[in-house]
Amino acid sequence: MSAALQKSAEAVPRPRKTSYEAVHRLARRCVLVTIGRQSDGCAYGLHPWAKEAVRSLRPNAQIIPQIFVAYRSPDEFLTVQAPMWMRVIRMLTGLTPSQLQKLGGVNLWDPRRDEVWKVEG
Express each pLDDT in 58-78 by its tens digit. Answer: 999 889 999 999 999 988 888
Beta bridge partners of 119: 106
Residue 61 covered by a domain: yes
**Does the residue 56 lie in any domain?**
yes
Global pTM?
Answer: 0.84
Residue 18 has pLDDT above 80, yes or no: no
Q: Is residue 65 part of a domain?
A: yes
pLDDT at 48 over 90: yes
Domain count, the chain: 1
Q: Is residue 26 assigned to a domain?
A: yes
Instruction: Note the pLDDT of residue 120.
Output: 86
Question: Residues with Cβ < 8 Å from 56, sequence gap 6 or more?
Answer: 103
Supply the range of the domain harboring residue 100: 20-119
* Domain-embedded: residue 12: no
Is 3 part of any domain?
no
Least confident of 9-18, 74-83, 96-105, 107-116: 9-18
Whether residue 5 lies inside any domain: the answer is no
16 pLDDT more than 60? yes
